[in-house]
Homo-oligomer: A and B are copies of this chain.
């Protein structure tokens, strides 16, 4: 299909940016980006997220370190920490409540807040790209999440879901191919039977891409990379951390 409009073209051009120009993001741009984020759908209008714009060089440096020494966090002019936030909701609700039991600690409400923040962040990412800026999501802020939360003063019922670097791209980045559409889009029910075939197709595509990008040094197929990813004990502290913040208790 001919990409029929500016927005579709923009969505299809997305790449993660890991090198930024030394050029500020204006207050006007930041406002436009976060306001566009707010226009995303939100479950029952809970708007269960807060985004912390970090511009203080010392704080950016610390967060870069806590996220596993990702230098672009330090380099980008604005580092956004996207937080799931049920603290504001509970604070807003409190004056209307007597002794009723409340459910901010449920798995459902953790998911609601996590989805809310992701929808808003993705809108913001697209808004940023429409303004000529680049972004990259940073899951690494969950590496040492308790320290991150403490450093930016998060109260209970708030957790940092991911970070996002924001700034003018300094370099062209290749666009990583995605899984075949048929792997991801099923019809009227889950189609497990074609899974193996789709993975094989993608293994070839992703291996060829990696080979080209690394000048022949690496050509690991996707499935091999994923096996390493799954066998890695990543962030096993998350459950305890979330429960310590008042989430996920039932």
> Residues of A with Cβ closer than 8 Å to B?
1, 3-8, 10-12, 14, 16, 28-32, 34-36, 38-41, 43-47, 49-56, 59, 83, 87-97, 100-104, 106-109, 111-112, 114-115, 118-119, 121-123, 125-127, 130-131, 136-137, 139, 142, 152-155, 158, 161-162, 176, 178-179, 181, 183-190, 192, 195-196, 199, 206, 222-236, 238-239, 242, 248, 250
Contacts and interface: CB of A to CB of B under 8 A. Distances in A.
19 contacts: A1-B32, A14-B40, A35-B178, A43-B139, A45-B176, A53-B185, A53-B187, A92-B226, A94-B227, A103-B231, A106-B239, A107-B242, A107-B248, A108-B142, A108-B234, A112-B139, A115-B161, A152-B189, A236-B250
Q: How many identical subunits does the complex contain?
A: 2
A95 B199 CA distance: 12
Contacts of A103: 230-234, 236
A65 to B, nearest CB: 16
Contact of A188 (B14, B41, B59): B59
User: Do most interface residues of chain A lie in helix, strand or loop, or is the interface mixed?
Assistant: helix
Given A114-B115, A227-B97, A222 B92 contact: yes
